A and B are shown apart, each in its own frame.
Chain A
Amino acid sequence: MKHFIKTCWALLRQLSGDDAYERYLRHQALEHPGEEPLDRKSFFQREQERKWNGVKRCC
């Protein structure tokens, strides 16, 4: 039961983009270990510009 709630919470965070920064840090550490990652604020600003520039919503 505890495990189920934890999974749901993780899915909800991923779905809403709440954990995007943590996922980004993991991705950077794995794929580009040498680079200095963006801080939370600049990362979120960059993401927002990217995410809402395209067909995102429907009728």
Chain B
Amino acid sequence: MTTPITPQGWPQRLLWLGIAITGASAAGGIALNRGESINAIWFIVAAICTYLIGYRFYSAWVGARVLMLDETRATPAERLADGRDYVPTNRWVVFGHHFAAIAGPGPLIGPTLAAQFGYLPGTLWILVGSVLAGCVQDMVILFCSMRRDGRSLGQMARDELGPIGGFAALLATFLIMIILIAVLGLVVVNAMKHSPWATSTVAATIPIAVFIGLYMRYLRPGRVLEGSLLGVILLLLSVGAGGWVDQQAGIREWFNHPGLPLAFAVIGYGLLAAILPVWLLLAPRDYLSTFMKLGTVILLAVAIVILQPEIKMPALTQFIDGTGPIFAGSLFPFVFITIACGAISGFHSLISSGTTPKLLENERDIRMVGYGGMALESFVAIMALIAACVLEPGVYFAINSPAGIVGATPEVAVATISSWGFPVTVEQMNQLAATMGEATLFARTGGAPSLAVGMASIFASAFGEHLLAMWYHFAIMFEAVFILTTLDAGTRVGRFMLQDMLGNFSPRLGQTSWYPSVVLTSSLVVAGWGYFLYIGVIDPNGGVNILWPLFGISNQLLAAIALTVATSILIKTGRIKYLWVTALPLCWLLILTTTAVYEKISSADPRIGFFAAANDLQHKLDAGLLAPEKAAVAPQLIFNQQLDAWLAMLFVVLLYLVVGDMLRMTWRRQRGLSILPSSETPYISNKPLPVNGVSQ
């Protein structure tokens, strides 16, 4: 039975009223609390109540009234069942697949970085953004794709809007992939910099994945659970082994490197992973990362509930004015750009169209998979935010601020950070680094180390105080494992897209199995993200300041394209009355991305504006104000700032092309002119449901 939009019966109504009041009190407590410390458990309560209310009421309403989900209609999985791509699957299994695919490192990193504004802006945006925009996007795109035999976002854009919309969606997807991989690579490099323990553990994940790959292919073919369990045990052992390596005077130095060699190692690894067969590296790594991800998320939730840590970060910091050390830019629009995954993430529309809709057993499962999957991802983002905010703010800023902002030596850095009103001492930082088994934790920009410190303190307090260093490196390994999985998978996807585009000019290059083409296109994709990674590492301001906002903008841009496609489909299929369900989030994203790009291009502050930064550096270079090593890289940095500015403008142009295409289509439809017909597949009744609503 479809859930009725409003609860039936008094016990039900009272229950939902109770949930609403609890959620509102928790959220109100968080929002209005000033000066006193607040317990993390209230964040969990507010979040869960928000998701429950959003799921129970808004998603039920969207499902019934807007999408008009029809449980008597056969899904593509049923109509086209082939036992391979189209397989009617239990909704819990589809939910698991979908969640594992959408949840990556994004919701862990974004909220950690955005904590520089204080806990409040990030929390509110994650909660409100997810229930009203992110979950709706995932659910509506899943619906649209399911009604079109599981077609991809790019194909839907082409079918519904025309070739321009289709091309813009494709190009945006390709660009976001390049930026995403670069910034994730940068996060890993910053976590491994001069840390033999972290570097050796991350390095060990590669032979472990290869071993599991060989195991599942030759020793015990297809025994996925058994192989994954073995791999997870080996990964845990590698964390311990890394601690041993760190103690050995000789071997230690093999893994003790500055950023640049590590960046080249990541680039080399990316190329290798893209041209090796999937079964050897990517597939086993993917299994391992999925298990690690689910295990760690559950562990973190349990630890927070057991420990109930106090939040140390203030509700708002002075950095809402745009002077933040981790990334520059004022609260609006940059908190919304920084937290993309966790609130609304355009990337999800690629998963919601394509694989997942081909598995749905019944249309009513869309609510649980699309809306529910995103709500859970949003919950992961809330936990990451908690992990960042339980740190002393001084410590949080010392770990995350790049040397170019707070000063290169520990003494200068703590003085700068303390002067902001977040007291921290060199001894405190040294002591913390020593407990975590690291030489230093200063200037570890990127979010991974501070999240690991936060997670390690939560885990250690909940499950055993003496293992702090182990927990820290476990958290680093956990983040690295699935960042590297995204890097492998993303490079491969980029390669397919490039081969697809090049195939228009040379059919030979379009053959995904022709090895020279594989090597050529993989190298091009790796060169693309490798370039941004290289610049990010040599940039004294930490690279994250440039790359993360660019990633956020491109991700929100993809979300806006997805919502545009969804809005056109609502218009075409006669749902114009409910247009606002997707059109309002779309307008919000248009305002966000346009403002952000405008500021990134035109701001006179060199930390925000790309052109301002290029001019500022050029000016300093001409005047001879730069130290020799900085002067040597300055021309590359100047070129990069200009390139980033043009890239940001290209993003906006792509977005308005798609939106313009939608407006043109709407105008023609209203005038009664011809438009592309809706590509929805016609109604076919499904096999009658068995009695008591349980499918077999």
Q: Interface on A for B, CB 8 Å cutoff?
A: 11-18, 20-21, 23-24, 27-28, 31, 40-41, 43-45, 47-59
Q: Which residues of the other chain, A, contact B90 by a CB distance below 8 angstroms? A: 11, 14
Q: Is B292 an interface residue (CB 8 A)?
A: no
Give chain A residues whose Cβ lies under 8 Å from the Cβ of B282. Answer: 52
Contact call B355/A54, Cβ cutoff below 8 A: yes
B84 on the A face (CB < 8 A): yes
Residues of chain A with a CB closer than 8 A to B286's CB: 52, 56-57
List the B residue with the shortest CB-CB distance to A24: B83
Are B101 and A57 in touch, CB under 8 angstroms?
Answer: yes
Chain B, 496-517, CB within 8 A of any chain A CB: 496, 512
A21 contacts across to B, CB distance below 8 A: 222
Complex Cα gap A52–B226 (Å): 20
Known: A44-B222, A57-B286, A58-B351. A31 touches B102 (CB 8 A): no
Partner of A18, one of B217, B224, B348, B350: B224
Q: Which residue of A lies closest to B107 (CB)?
A: A59
- Binding stretch for chain A, among B160-168, B486-494, B533-541: B486-494
Minimum distance in angstroms from A17 CB to a CB of chain B: 5
Among A12, A16, A21, A59, the most chain B Cβ lie within 10 Å of the Cβ of A59
A44 to B223, CA, bound (A): 9
Is B423 an interface residue, CB under 8 A from the partner? no
Beta-carbon nearest neighbor of B551 in chain A:
A59
Q: Roughly how many angstroms separate A53 CA and B92 CA in the complex, as a whole number?
A: 24
Of the residues A14, A17, A31, A52, contact of B83 by C-beta under 8 Å: A31
Please tell me if the beta carbons of A44 and B496 are within 8 angstroms of each other in the complex.
no
Instruction: Judge whether A13 and B225 touch: CB under 8 Å.
Output: yes
Please give the distance in Å from A40's CB to the nearest CB on chain B. Answer: 5
Task: Tell me which residues across on chain B come within 8 A of A50, comparing CB atoms.
Answer: 84-85
Q: Which residue of B lies closest to A28 (CB)?
A: B83
Q: Which residues of B472-497 have CB atoms within 8 Å of chain A's CB atoms?
A: 485-486, 489-490, 492-493, 496
Q: Is B287 an interface residue (CB 8 A)?
A: yes
Interface size on B, residues (CB 8 A): 53
- The CA-CA distance from A13 to B101 in the complex, in Å, is 17
| Residue in contact with A44 in the complex, picked from B85, B101, B217, B226, CB distance below 8 Å | B217
Q: List 7 A-B contacts (CB under 8 A).
A: A11-B90, A11-B96, A48-B217, A52-B489, A56-B493, A57-B489, A58-B347
Find chain B residues with CB under 8 A from A45 CB. 217, 221, 279
Contact B104 A54, beta carbon cutoff 8 Å: no
A38 to chain B, nearest CB (A): 11
B345 at the A interface (CB under 8 A): yes
B222–A56 contact, CB under 8 A? no
Q: A15-B96, A44-B217 are in contact. Are A20 and B222 (CB under 8 A)?
A: yes
The 8 lowest CB-CB distance pairs between A and B, nearest first, are A59-B106, A44-B222, A27-B83, A52-B278, A41-B221, A57-B489, A15-B96, A18-B224
Contacts A48-B279, A54-B355, A57-B486; A16 near B287 (Cβ below 8 A):
yes
Question: Bound complex: CA of A44 vs CA of B286, how far in Å?
Answer: 15
Q: Is B542 an interface residue (CB 8 A)?
A: no
Cβ–Cβ < 8 Å partners of B198 in chain A: none
Question: How many whole Å from B448's CB to the nearest CB in chain A?
Answer: 14
Q: Within 8 Å CB of B218, what residues of A?
A: 41
Q: Contacts A11-B90, A52-B492 given: A44-B216 contact, CB under 8 Å?
A: yes
Rounded to whole angstroms, the CA-CA distance of A45 and B213 in the bound complex is: 11
Residue of A nearest to B278 (CB): A52
CB <8 Å contact, B222 and A59: no
Extra pairs beyond A14-B90, A18-B222, A18-B226 (18, CB < 8 Å): A15-B92, A16-B225, A16-B287, A23-B83, A44-B216, A45-B221, A50-B84, A52-B278, A52-B283, A53-B512, A55-B152, A55-B350, A55-B354, A55-B355, A57-B286, A58-B104, A58-B106, A59-B104
Within 8 Å of chain A (Cβ to Cβ): is B555? yes
Judging by beta carbons under 8 Å apart, are B84 and A15 in contact?
A: no
Q: In the complex, are the beta carbons of A59 and B217 less than 8 A apart?
A: no
Q: How far is the CA of A15 from the CA of B92 in the complex (A)?
A: 9
Q: B224 — which chain A residues lie within 8 A by C-beta?
A: 16-18, 20
Complex CA gap A52/B92 in Å reads 21
- Find chain B residues with CB under 8 A from A59 CB: 104-106, 180, 184, 340-341, 345, 347, 486, 551, 555
CA distance A28 to B512 in the complex (A): 28
Cβ of A22 to closest chain B Cβ, rounded Å: 10
CA distance A31 to B347 in the complex (A): 36
CA distance A49 to B283 in the complex (A): 9
Residues of B within 8 Å of A57, CB to CB, are 101, 104, 286, 485-486, 489-490
Complex Cα distance, B282 from A13, in Å, reads 20
Contacts of B223 in A (CB 8 A): 18
CB-defined contacts of B493 to chain A, threshold 8 Å: 54-56
Q: Mark B202-237, 1 if CB is under 8 A from A, else 0.
A: 000000000000001110011111101000000000
**Residues of B contacting A27 in the complex (Cβ-Cβ under 8 angstroms):** 83
Closest-by-CB residue of B relative to A42 is: B221
